[in-house]
Amino acid sequence: MTFRRRRQLVSSSSSGDIRSYAALTPAEKARLAYMRFGLGPKLNGKDAIGNRTHSAREALRAELDRADRALIPDDRVIARNVRLTMENCTRFAHPQLRIGNDWIRPLPIEILAAERAARFTKHLEPDIGFVERLVMFWSNHFNVFRGKHGFVQGTAGHMERSVIRRHVLGKFSDMLKGVVQHPAMIFYLDNHQSTGPTSEIGKGSQIHKLNENLGREILELHTVGVSANYTQTDVENLAKLITGWTIVDINSGLSTRGQFRYDVDRSEPGRFTVMRGSFLGGSQQQGLAALDMLANQVETARHIAFKLLRHFVADEPSPAMVRSLTETFQSTRGDLKKVAEALIDMDAAWSMPMTRLRLPYPWFVSMMRVMQPTAAQVTAQEDRAKGILESLGHHVWGHQTPEGYTDLDSYWKNSDAVRRRRNVARQYVETMISPAVGYKVPPRVNIVDNLMGSALSRESTDAVRGMSSDRDALTLLFVTPEFLRR
Amino acid sequence: MSEHDHEDTPVEQRVLDASAAGCEESRLLISRRALMGLTASFVAWSHVPRIASASSGSNSDPRLVVVLLRGAVDGLSLVPPSNSKDWNILESARRGLVPMEPLTLKTYADGVDLAKRADTGFYLHPKFSNFYKLFNAGDAAIIHAIAPPRQTRSHFHCMDNLESGYGELSRSAKTGWLGRTIQQLVISKRGKQAISFGPTPLTLLGAQDLISWTNDRVTLSNIQTQLNNLYRRTDPELHDLLTRGIETNDKAKGFDNLISEVGMRADDWTKQNNKLRHPSDLKLEETFRGAARLLSLPTGPRIGVLDTTGWDTHVTQGGVLDTKFRELDRAIQGFKDELTDEIWNETVVVLVTEFGRSVAINGTGTDHGVGTVALLMGGAVNGGRVLGDWDGLSKLKDGRDLMATTDMRKLFKALISDHLQMADVTVEKVFEGSRTLSRMQDLLKTPSNSINRFV
């Protein structure tokens, strides 16, 4: 593409010449806080980040303050009068349940809709949304696909609430262990079917075999990463160490159907080496110890550091940035709150230019955050929101394969991307103001004056103000460069 | 100017209901957008130099389009066997749910009409009448009893397997066979522009410089003028992308440059738009026509992947397939109509699905099976033939499904070898691990001989 960038809000002249955080203007810092690290401003967002030198960074740090900030309690997620606890999610998440001719409700698709609505509602709460972005990062890192089976449809949301949100500011090893023991992940990667070849159930069986899927992805995606030095034997051995990590048969009539169950009859006996550690099969404790070992490997620290930087900052973070964040991960033994703090403490994380396009989902959420729909409105727009996100190719628990959605700009910033965002912004505003949803567009002067302060450029502000209707003003706002770039 | 949303295309309620009642797995994979029958994804076509003709040393400018039919199409309804033994087995197992008044495919081998032979011969579903004409004209062919190598009857696995082009489950570092093909073409300096319609499908992953187009049916934007001005003043890259996106959309919709929405007044736009819009309101056909228009551009894309879904006919299969075959048939005719004869003669469209469906009926539909059909159409196709190894319906896989006697990779290998003129060693790089799998022969009217192949 042969164009010259006439103006770039934030830039560094070369990779060796990083501007310091302090050298950025308050407007630049606010824009970065909202769009690079957050989910976009709420309507009165101008006041959420002050004007003092360190306000933006401090505002983000303040969001990390309370670990419980990320939680969505079971009580807030209800589908057809059923509170979505673990027991209820796994119990109802079987697609074929009927009494006579009637489906037993809630159906998995109804559970999914309730979980999605609760997630959207949670996204609306914080001033900036840094913790929500971290939740989304980890949820994508530990990808599960709602389309795999009704069971995953019904339990994916619970995994995010009970594991990702619980540990997002805690220890990585706790999050890893929680995920690998959650029925949604076990089912998604077929570990419930994995049987040790010489285990009680496995020996001599033609149908019960070892399934390496989860074992492989733990190494390749979740911990040390594909470029680390592990072998096929390591994959097999890890798979053997987590044989028996299964779920109560979803076809059984038991009330515990779908819940995690350690089945020692499926677990492979023996001693197994995985990378630098050696563990005994036939013991859930030893499987957990293997996961702890992997969580603490330097390759894991490096892999996670790289992914965090690629997600938040740049397609190709510099080796120095990766080294620095790796070092924090290692020295804190995977303290995710400290790692998040180290990320925003890095000057380079702020001064890398805003060349990338915001991914569809966070961009979409930022439209919602400006509008702040009520709970009823969130439910009313849910179906349309789902369709829009699917058409943009970025939706909740929507990535089929375990590596999750990419952060590479070239995938998202395709030739049709801007035209699509322009059209979707209109579609979404029209959806929200339709009688079915009933959102009332505020006067545009309220929007531009209070939204991001000077973080919204003078040209964008004038353009939004100059539209002939409040509805068009809102639509234009959503595709200003400030809303599209990160 | 009216502000109503152009998004909603009426789809027959029973199609929606039946699709919604498809098996659990496919129901989850069907999105409403996909029911509207589209997705496609392209790149700054006007700015990509035509590398192919400069260095290829040949005059050809082949087009290759892959159409993914997601959900597992019932090959036995689309191309039922016509010999009395197999037909009776099918009719009995389907309890009469067989196509009424199917079209008889006359296929010739050495002058013998195979349809009259006792042991082979096939019908075509009556709603596939445009394809029938192409078949009889020698511009379309059918491959029966074909499937991707992994036969697990899982949409998830098998579509992944089809798109990745590997023998086993694909790895986490994801590429698709067509994406790798395009990588190899770039390496040999014969790069071809590829387009996907909507989010990039796995089939194309790995290809660089993909362009994209989504048939989203929203016409003139209410904010275009001001947005255009804002970008021009403050963000040249966004301005560039928006302009190209609009230009591509204009081309795909068949709009004259003069009435491109850039800088046009609202009421003029609507008038022009309504005049030019194809009378058919069917979104799938519009998407296929758009694909053809873009593939026709002198500097446009040459390789594309189209997507349709809703084929998972667990219930009311008869009615659903009547509707969907007719819709797909119209779409492929629309595609052909947008091409000149010259371009048609250099085009291959291959339509594939992840597996077939059970021989026996289950309620009002069928369960997941294995063997199914793949379709080829285009002026470059050596048509009028039903290919593959047909073993009949007496011996079924696991006692329930048509067996797959052809590994789908053999079809894909033949296409990139003969139509895209790729050398054997390069084909083996793309389809790593398939060395013993020989490609299908004689799929094209004028296959390239080995002297013209490129590494």
If pLDDT is split at 50, 70 and 90, which confidence band does A20 have? confident
- Cβ <8 Å between B28 and A153: yes
Return the residue of A nearest to B204 by Cα. Answer: A411
Asked whether residue B2 carries a pLDDT value surpassing 80, the answer given is no
Residue corresponding to tokens 């929101």: A385
Query: Could you say which of B44, B212, B230 has the minimum Cβ distance to residue A460?
Result: B230
A460 contact residues in B (CB cutoff 8 A): 230, 234
Asked whether residue B52 carries a pLDDT value surpassing 50, the answer given is no
Residue A478 CB: number of other CB atoms within 10 A?
Answer: 24
**Percent of chain A at pLDDT above 70?**
95
Residue B364 CB: number of other CB atoms within 10 A?
Answer: 17
Asked whether residue A8 carries a pLDDT value surpassing 50, the answer given is no
CA distance A400 to chain B (A): 8
Residue A102's beta-bridge partner residues? Answer: A99
Asked whether residue A345 carries a pLDDT value surpassing 80, the answer given is yes
- Cβ <8 Å between B249 and A416: yes
Q: What is the structure's pLDDT at B218?
A: 60
Q: What is the structure's pLDDT at B353?
A: 97
Complex confidence, ipTM: 0.92
Q: Which of A186-195, A232-241, B257-266 has the lowest mean pLDDT?
A: B257-266
Q: What is the structure's pLDDT at A43?
A: 87
Residue closest to A486 by CA, chosen among A184, A129, A145: A129
Give dist(CA A247, CA A188) in Å, integer: 12
- A480 contacts chain B (CB < 8 A): yes
pLDDT in tens, A352-405: 999 999 999 999 999 999 999 999 999 999 999 999 999 899 999 999 889 899
Q: Return the higher-pLDDT residue of B10 and B219.
A: B219
If pLDDT is split at 50, 70 and 90, which confidence band does A45 have? confident
- Mutation to test the A interface, candidates B24, B48, B367, most A Cβ within 10 Å: B24
Q: Return the higher-pLDDT residue of A396 and A4.
A: A396
Asked whether residue B454 carries a pLDDT value surpassing 90, the answer given is no
Residue A253 CB: number of other CB atoms within 10 A?
Answer: 6
* Phi/psi-derived region of residue B66, left when phi > 0, alpha when psi is between -120 and 50, beta in every other case: beta
- B221 contacts chain A (CB < 8 A): yes
Residues of B numbered 241-260 whose beta carbons fall under 8 angstroms of chain A's beta carbons: which are they?
241-242, 244-246, 248-249
Q: What is the structure's pLDDT at B56?
A: 40
How far lies A270's CA from each of A230, A257, A262, A267, in Å? 20, 29, 17, 10
If pLDDT is split at 50, 70 and 90, which confidence band does B57 have? very low
Asked whether residue B50 carries a pLDDT value surpassing 70, the answer given is no
If pLDDT is split at 50, 70 and 90, which confidence band does B114 have? low
- B238 contacts chain A (CB < 8 A): yes
Q: What is the structure's pLDDT at A5?
A: 37
C-beta separation of B327 from B284 below 8 A: yes
Give dist(CA B321, CA B300) in Å, integer: 34
CA distance B379 to chain A (A): 30
B240 contact residues in A (CB cutoff 8 A): 1, 3
Query: Could you say which of A109, A220, A420 has the minimum Cβ distance to residue B172?
Result: A220
Q: What is the structure's pLDDT at B118?
A: 53
- Cβ <8 Å between A467 and B172: no
B304 contact residues in A (CB cutoff 8 A): none
Asked whether residue A7 carries a pLDDT value surpassing 50, the answer given is no
Residues of A numbered 378-407 whose beta carbons fall under 8 angstroms of chain B's beta carbons: which are they?
386-387, 390-394, 400-403
Residue closest to B31 by CA, chosen among A133, A263, A371, A387: A387
- A456 contacts chain B (CB < 8 A): no
Query: Could you say which of A149, A393, A426 has the minimum Cβ distance to residue B25?
Result: A149
Half-sphere exposure of A294 (CA within 13 A, CB side): 35
- A146 contacts chain B (CB < 8 A): yes
Residue B140's beta-bridge partner residues? Answer: B377
Q: Which of A11-15, A174-178, A395-399, B322-326 has the highest mean pLDDT?
A: A174-178
Q: What is the dihedral of CA A427, A428, A434, A436, to 10 degrees?
A: 120
If pLDDT is split at 50, 70 and 90, which confidence band does B117 have? low
Give dist(CA B392, CA A149) in Å, integer: 33
- Cβ <8 Å between A146 and B246: no
Q: Which of A38-42, B27-31, B298-302 has the lowest mean pLDDT?
A: B27-31
* Phi/psi-derived region of residue A389, left when phi > 0, alpha when psi is between -120 and 50, beta in every other case: alpha
pLDDT in tens, B412-442: 999 999 999 999 999 999 999 999 999 999 9
Q: What is the structure's pLDDT at B189?
A: 85
- B268 contacts chain A (CB < 8 A): no
Largest CA distance in chain A: 76
Query: Could you say which of B32, B222, B233 has the minimum Cβ distance to residue A472?
Result: B222
Q: Which two tokens stand for residue B173?
A: 């570092």
Query: Could you say which of B210, B214, B238 has the minimum Cβ distance to residue A481?
Result: B238
- A147 contacts chain B (CB < 8 A): yes
**Cα B386–Cα B391–Cα B393 angle in degrees, nearest 5:** 105
CA distance A130 to chain B (A): 26
Asked whether residue B32 carries a pLDDT value surpassing 50, the answer given is no
Residue corresponding to tokens 């690079």: A36
Residue closest to B353 by CA, chosen among B200, B132, B146, B81: B146
Please state the pTM of the whole predicted model: 0.86
- Cβ <8 Å between A414 and B237: no
Q: Which two tokens stand for residue B172?
A: 């986490």
Residues of B numbered 22-41 whose beta carbons fall under 8 angstroms of chain A's beta carbons: which are they?
24-25, 27-29, 31-34, 41
Query: Could you say which of B7, B27, B222 has the minimum Cβ distance to residue A475?
Result: B222
CA A104 to chain centre: 30
Q: What is the structure's pLDDT at B125?
A: 97
- Cβ <8 Å between A390 and B248: no
Give dist(CA A319, CA A240) in Å, integer: 35
What is the average pLDDT across B6-26?
Answer: 44
What is the average pLDDT across A26-46?
Answer: 93
Return the residue of B nearest to A402 by Cα. Answer: B172
- Cβ <8 Å between B214 and A226: no
B31 contact residues in A (CB cutoff 8 A): 386-387, 390-391
CA distance A342 to chain B (A): 29
Q: What is the structure's pLDDT at A102?
A: 78
What is the average pLDDT across B292-312?
Answer: 93
- B240 contacts chain A (CB < 8 A): yes
If pLDDT is split at 50, 70 and 90, which confidence band does A449 have? confident
pLDDT in tens, A205-219: 989 999 999 999 999
Q: State the average pLDDT for chain A.
A: 92
Residue A450 identity (one-letter amino acid): N
Return the residue of B nearest to A147 by Cα. Answer: B28
Query: Could you say which of A403, A411, A459 has the minimum Cβ distance to residue B233?
Result: A459
Give dist(CA A466, CA A122) in Å, integer: 33
What is the average pLDDT across B210-223?
Answer: 82
Asked whether residue A184 carries a pLDDT value surpassing 70, the answer given is yes
pLDDT in tens, A281-322: 999 999 999 999 999 999 999 999 999 999 999 999 999 999
Give dist(CA B230, CA A149) in Å, integer: 46
3-state secondary structure of B383: coil
Q: What is the structure's pLDDT at B171?
A: 60
Give dist(CA A375, CA A120) in Å, integer: 10
Q: Which two tokens stand for residue A461?
A: 């502000």
- Cβ <8 Å between B173 and A475: no
- Cβ <8 Å between B156 and A148: yes
If pLDDT is split at 50, 70 and 90, which confidence band does B7 have? very low
